[in-house]
């Protein structure tokens, strides 16, 4: 083997190593390319995933907003529905109360019909209504109920008026059967017959009142017939004015609740006027007595004035005397006595008492 063999071997090994390095570099480049492609693929997938996730987020957000809007609308609709239901319940309650009132009113009407269809109950109903009206207007001193008169008849109410006219009786009983027949008439013939019967019943009751409750020297010359129904009173005046005139001539005045109230107010005014006249008389008597007291007081004041004048004159005289005494005292105080060794003793002057020889 020549000397160049080692060099050849080394060169071969170097070439082999270089080839291996080149192969390795090529593999690395291939691996890097695969890694880069994998990374790019992962990046693309990640981008797509992010885009999909963003889309889903947008869908979820839109869905949430839509759900919230729908929920708000549902709540508002629920509130409106609740308010409407509350209003409906209130109206149903009002309707229920109105229905109960109608039922009670119908029961009262039926009860009133039962009362008016019974003579005894009708009389009690008229008495109660009369009592309520009279008590609401007149004082207790001007009214009495169920009073027995000297003829033994009992009056439903007695109004105590001064003479004239005197106490007046109010009767609360009234005939109603013929009035019901008049209202139930079906033709002209039945109406005329019921009307005649109604007028006859009224006049019979008027005569009874005049006979029982008009007593000369005890009651007024007239009495009142109380009809506790405006309908009966209106029918009487509209259909039977001649009966009303006959009752006036019999001195029985037919009144309804409204006209009786006006009459009682007039009575109250009359009673008040009588009381005022009585009070005026008492005031006049008291005024005359007061004038007498004033005259006596004037005499006593005059005497006291004369005493004051006398005292004033006495004070003036006393003042004159005190002024004179004061002046004399001043004069005496101005006198000076000078003593001398040769002066003789002089006896003091005798003082005069005031009033013994002048002031």
Domain residue extents for the chain: 61-117, 122-271
Burial zone of 61 (CB within 10 Å; 0-12 exposed, 13-18 middle, 19+ buried): exposed
User: For the domain bounded by 122-271, which CATH number is listed?
Assistant: 3.40.1350
pTM comes to 0.47
Phi/psi zone of residue 104: left (φ > 0), alpha (ψ -120 to 50 degrees), beta? Answer: alpha
Of 142, 196, 201, 152, the C-alpha closest to 173 is: 201
What count of other Cβ atoms lies within 10 Å of the Cβ of residue 169?
25
Q: In what order do the strands lie in the sheet with 154-159?
A: 143-148, 154-159, 168-171, 223-226, 252-255
The arithmetic mean of pLDDT across residues 251-280, rounded, is: 83
- Cα dihedral 43, 47, 50, 52 sign: negative
Q: What is the DSSP letter of 235?
A: H
Instruction: Give the model's confidence band at 103: pLDDT under 50 very low, under 70 low, under 90 confident, else very high.
Output: low
In this prediction, residue 315 carries a pLDDT of 86
pLDDT over 70 percentage in the chain: 68
Which range, of 85-89, 274-278, 348-352, averages the lowest pLDDT?
348-352
In this prediction, residue 359 carries a pLDDT of 40
> Residue 169 is inside which H or E element, if any?
strand 168-171
Residue that wins the pLDDT comparison between 88 and 204? 204
Instruction: Pick the most confident of 131-135, 183-187, 290-294, 304-308.
Output: 131-135
- What DSSP string describes 317-329? HHHHHHHHHHHHH
d(CA 37, CA 28): 14
In this prediction, residue 338 carries a pLDDT of 52
In this prediction, residue 268 carries a pLDDT of 85
In this prediction, residue 207 carries a pLDDT of 92
Residue that wins the pLDDT comparison between 343 and 144? 144
d(CA 211, CA 214): 6
286-326: pLDDT as tens digits = 777 777 878 887 788 888 888 888 888 888 888 888 888 88
In this prediction, residue 111 carries a pLDDT of 47
In this prediction, residue 35 carries a pLDDT of 66
12-63: pLDDT as tens digits = 656 666 666 566 666 666 666 776 777 677 667 767 766 776 676 676 666 6
């Amino acid at each position: 083997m020549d000397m160049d063999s080692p060099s050849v071997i080394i060169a071969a090994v170097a070439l082999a190593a270089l080839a291996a390095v080149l192969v390795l570099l090529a593999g690395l480049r291939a691996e890097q390319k695969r890694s880069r492609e994998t990374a790019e693929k992962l990046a693309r997938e990640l981008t797509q995933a992010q885009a999909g996730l963003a889309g889903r987020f947008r869908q979820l957000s839109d869905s949430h907003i839509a759900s919230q809007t729908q929920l708000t609308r549902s709540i508002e609709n629920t509130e409106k529905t609740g308010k409407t239901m509350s209003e409906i319940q209130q109206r149903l309650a009002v309707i229920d109360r109105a229905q109960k009132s109608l039922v009670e009113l119908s029961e009262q009407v039926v009860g009133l019909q039962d009362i008016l269809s019974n003579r005894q109950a009708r009389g009690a109903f008229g008495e109660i209504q009369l009592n309520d009206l009279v008590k609401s207007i007149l004082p207790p001193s001007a009214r009495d109920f169920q009073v027995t008169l000297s003829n033994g008849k009992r009056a439903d109410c007695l109004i105590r008026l001064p003479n004239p006219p005197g106490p007046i009786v109010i009767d609360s009983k009234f005939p109603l059967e013929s009035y019901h027949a008049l209202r139930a008439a079906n033709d002209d013939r039945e109406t005329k017959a019921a009307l005649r019967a109604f007028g006859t019943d009224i006049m019979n009751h008027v005569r009874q009142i005049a006979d029982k409750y008009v007593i000369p020297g005890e009651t007024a010359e007239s009495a009142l017939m109380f009809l506790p129904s405006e309908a009966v009173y209106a029918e009487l005046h509209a259909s039977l004015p001649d009966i009303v005139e006959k009752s006036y001539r019999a001195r029985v005045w037919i009144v309804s609740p409204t006209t009786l109230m006006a009459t009682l107010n007039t009575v109250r005014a009359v009673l008040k006027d009588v009381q005022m006249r009585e009070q005026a008389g008492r005031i006049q008597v008291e005024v005359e007595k007061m004038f007498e007291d004033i005259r006596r007081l004037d005499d006593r004041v005059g005497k006291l004035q004369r005493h004051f004048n006398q005292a004033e004159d006495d004070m003036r005289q006393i003042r004159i005397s005190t002024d004179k005494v004061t002046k004399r005292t001043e004069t005496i105080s101005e006198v000076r006595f000078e003593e001398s060794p040769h002066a003789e003793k002089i006896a003091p002057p005798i003082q005069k008492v005031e009033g013994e020889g002048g002031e």
